[in-house]
Amino acid sequence: MDYRLLDYLVYIVVSAFLTIWVGDTLFRNGRPFLVSVFKEDGLADSVNRLLVVGFYLVNFGAAAILINTGGAPSNLADMLKQSVTRIGAVLLVLGFMHFNNLLILRTIRRRDRPMPPLNYNPYQPAPGA
């Protein structure tokens, strides 16, 4: 029996499901964070949609490239091993993209807030107070 077709089918279905689920979750739950970064609802919504589109493009592209990794599985155990390895790579790409987006947005958000003084200690009263 040729396990390659079954391997591809499992990989495509799981990768698509995970990418869509994570993208939808980020879209729904990322809005309040984006509103706090950009201070405008319309701009935050637009950026949120653009981030999700970019997220889908990069992750589906990575999943399409990774489908050709590995050889032809000779048995069910090899097929599952290859599918799980590729799905793990897709999950790493998803996590890496999410981390980078948060890092960039955090940097944007910090530019709007003044930095505390270098000797700032929240547990001691300010000098002269």
Residue-wise pLDDT for 58-112, tens only, equals 888 988 888 888 777 888 888 888 888 888 888 888 888 888 888 887 887 776 6
Token duo for residue 76: 């069910």
What's residue 71's pLDDT?
75
Mean pLDDT of the chain: 82
- The amino acid at residue 5 is L
Residue 127 has pLDDT above 70, yes or no: no
Domain ranges in the chain are: 4-111
Q: Which of 20, 19, 43 is nearest to 31 (CA)?
A: 43
At 18, is the secondary structure helix, strand, or coil? Answer: helix
Residue 116 has pLDDT above 60, yes or no: no
Please identify which residue in the block is written with the tokens 């591809």.
Answer: 8
Residue 54 has pLDDT above 80, yes or no: yes
What's residue 113's pLDDT?
63
